[in-house]
């Protein structure tokens, strides 16, 4: 079990590194991970942030998933996710997700 947890964490970290380079697939994959709990705890605010960033980088799937999870979120949570996405874009060190 410890190895699968380490594997999942490594996968998340590598996707974050790819996301920092603007890889829309990596941004989308992070949204999926946080929306389904794949390797991380389910966190819809974090998932929305990643789907939003994927959508900004041209991912139609990111746009659809962002809209889909928004139905399960409060207006405050969506605003928090949008603020976090803006902070990610402004950040010089995008690895500090």
Do 78 and 48 touch, CB atoms closer than 8 A?
yes
Which pair of structure tokens corresponds to residue 10?
A: 């490594």
**Would you state the pLDDT for residue 96?**
39
Reported pTM: 0.87
Per-residue pLDDT at 95: 43
Q: How far is it, in rounded angstroms, from Cα 26 to Cα 14?
A: 9
pLDDT, tens digit, 9 for 90 and up, residues 83-92: 999 999 998 6
The Cα–Cα gap between 94 and 22 comes to 10
pLDDT over 50 at 61, yes or no = yes
């Amino acid at each position: 079990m410890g190895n699968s947890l380490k594997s999942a964490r490594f996968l998340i970290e590598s996707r974050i590194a790819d996301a920092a380079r603007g890889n829309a697939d990596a941004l989308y994959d992070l949204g999926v991970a946080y929306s389904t709990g794949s390797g991380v705890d389910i966190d819809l605010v974090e998932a929305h942030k990643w789907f939003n960033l994927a959508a900004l980088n041209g991912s139609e799937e990111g746009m659809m998933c962002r809209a889909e999870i928004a139905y399960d979120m409060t207006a405050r949570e969506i605003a928090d996710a949008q603020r976090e996405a803006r902070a990610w874009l402004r950040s010089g060190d995008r690895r500090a997700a």
